[in-house]
Amino acid sequence: MSYKPSHYAQLTPCLVVQDGGKAIDFYDKAFGFQPIDEVVKDEKGAVQYAALKFGESTIMIFPEGSFGPGGKTPKHQGAAPPVSLYLYVPDTDALYARAVAAGAMTILEPHDAFWGDRFCKVSDPDGHEWGFATFKG
C-alpha cells in the first residue's frame, strides 16, 4: 500500500475559499479542474471539502471556518496571498482567455518571460494568485 492515494500529487496545496460550491464551479470553468473524489457537504448541502485535479496537479479546497476560526481567504483578509500557484499548461494564452472569461482578474497578461516560459498571472475570486506557463525554452 502506498503512503498516499494514487490519484493525488505528492504536494497538494489546500486553498481556503469563501464558498466551496462556487469555487468548484469557478475552477472548472476558468482552469479546467475537476473533482476527483466525493465532494463532502454538510447537512445543509454546503461544500466542506473537495479535491480537484488538472492533469497531474491536485488542489484541495475548504471553506472558511472548516477547521476552526483561523482560515480566511486572501480576499477576506484584504491582503495579497503569501504563496502563489504556478501551473504548466499546453497553451498559456488559451487558458488565460478562458480564465478571464470565467471571472479571473488579470495580474499579468500572457508574455514571453525572461526565464523561457510564456507566462501570465491571474487572481481567482477568493484572491488566490495563479501563474500559468508554457515552456518555450
Is 90 exceeded by the pLDDT of residue 62? Answer: yes
Q: What is the mean pLDDT of residues 113-131?
A: 98
Is 80 exceeded by the pLDDT of residue 13? Answer: yes
Comparison of pLDDT for 96 and 37, the residue scoring more: 96
Q: What is the mean pLDDT of residues 112-124?
A: 98
pLDDT of amino acid 39: 94
* CB under 8 A, 24+ apart: contacts of 5-14: 7/36, 7/53, 7/58, 8/36, 8/51, 8/58, 9/56, 9/57, 9/58, 12/51, 12/58, 12/59, 12/60, 13/59, 13/60, 13/83, 13/85, 14/59, 14/60, 14/61, 14/62
